[in-house]
Each structure stands twice: as C-alpha cells, then as structure tokens.
Amino acid sequence: MKSRLTLWVLLLCSSLLFSCTTSGGRTPRKAKAWESALGSVPKTKISPQQLSKSVNVRRSYIPRGRYGRRKHRPMKPTYITIHSTQNYTGDAWAHAKALRRGALRGGTIGYLCWHFTVQDDVVVQHIPTSERGEHADFDGPGNRKSIAIEMCEHRGNSQAQTLERTAKLTASLMYHHKIPLSHVVPHYHWPRAGYSTPHKNCPHYLLDNGRPGPTWEWFKRRVGEHYKRISA
C-alpha cells in the first residue's frame, strides 16, 4: 500500500514537472526555418538613408486618376498593415503590372491597390504613402489609415529574405512616418464588415492557427530590432 502511494506521488510530481517545463510558456517554441536562416539582427547603427537604400524600393505607380487611384484620396498613415499575396506564381513585378492595368478588381472603388509588394531582392511601390489603398477592410481604418505591404509567395522566392526585407521596410516606414511598433499589425487585425470570418488569416504564415501568436511576435521583434539600429 505504502509503495503504491509513493508511486502515485512520484507520478503526480513528474507530471507536474512535465507540465511546468512543456506548457509553462517559457519553453522555446520550435523555430521556423527562416528564423535560423536569418540569424540575429546586427547591433551596429545605421542611418535612415542607409536603411532605405538597403531596402531597394523601385517605383512602378498606378497612373494617377486611374484604377485604384481613380479618385484622389489623401491619407496620413498611422498604421502599417502586413499581408502576404497567397499567389504562388506572380512576383512583385507581376503584381505591379496587374495593378497598373486595373486587373485586380474589388474594394470600395472597384479596384484593389496597396503601397508596396516585397520579394527577396526588391520592393515595388504602387501608390504614394500619402494616398489610401484598398487592401484590408473596405471603408474601415485599415484602408483609411494604414500603409499596406504585401509579401510575395511565388515559387523560387526566398521566404527568409522576403521577411527580412519586409522587416527593414517596416522599420524604415516607422521612422519616416513616426509610427510606433504597436501600430504594426497583420491584415487579421482589421475586421471586414459583413464577412462570416471577419478576421482574415493573413499573412497566413506569420499567424498561428489563423491568429497572431508567437510567430507574429517574432516578426514584430525583428522589425523592432531593425528600428533600434536607426541612428539619425
């Protein structure tokens, strides 16, 4: 009897120990492949100009007065919204071409548009950051107040380098528009009125079970580390 009791106590202790070390929230989660590929962000200071230059932004604007810019709608950005394209064939240039031709329909003015599309080696800008886009939540604050960044997912594109370029672009935009890290949000953040699933699973590979979790926190930390390097 005594030995059986000892066994129960031992089992209870070991299961408590087990739960403490595995679900206490302190155990490092399994890192995504891109995290180890990227390593840590250097601590050395960088000027805002050097950072912008390393991001490599190329302009390919939708013509003023047409398609996603058919109405002039000024914006003072106070948020940055991160998306991923879920398009496994088109690169950033293909998205730029589609936007310039008015090929992507939707939103409140009949045409989708957003500010930047990022791939591993370049960022393509489609509209000025002083104009609102059509990418998140119709007439909601996501469209009215945020700069939108789409991350490419086409085959052959490095996901790690796309994430790193996106993190640097985000840090650079935070600096130039005085936007705090707390206002860097996933598309998920902006509910879409009238949808059965108002919170979109976007950017899907930075969310955990369709919502912001440790992977999103990792991305935000990365953005914060790039931001901290900036020294005027």
Judged by the rule CB under 5 A, the positions of this chain that interact with Zn ion are 83, 187, 202
112 contacts 104 by C-beta, under 8 angstroms: yes
State which residue, 175 or 205, has the beta carbon closest to Zn ion: 205
State which residue, 131 or 153, has the beta carbon closest to Zn ion: 153
Q: Which helix (H) or strand (E) holds 151?
A: strand 146-151
State which residue, 51 or 206, has the beta carbon closest to Zn ion: 206
State which residue, 69 or 83, has the beta carbon closest to Zn ion: 83
Cβ-proximal residues to 103 (8 Å cutoff; 6+ apart), any chain: 97
From the CB of 204, what's the least distance to Zn ion, in Å?
9
From the CB of 63, what's the least distance to Zn ion, in Å?
24
Which pairing describes strands 184-186 and 79-84: parallel, antiparallel, or unpaired?
Answer: parallel
43 contacts 78 by C-beta, under 8 angstroms: no
* Cα end-to-end distance, the chain, whole Å: 73
| CA separation for the pair 52, 50 (Å, rounded) | 6
From the CB of 203, what's the least distance to Zn ion, in Å?
7
State which residue, 51 or 153, has the beta carbon closest to Zn ion: 153
From the CB of 186, what's the least distance to Zn ion, in Å?
8
From the CB of 74, what's the least distance to Zn ion, in Å?
23
Cβ-proximal residues to 41 (8 Å cutoff; 6+ apart), any chain: 222, 225, 226, 229
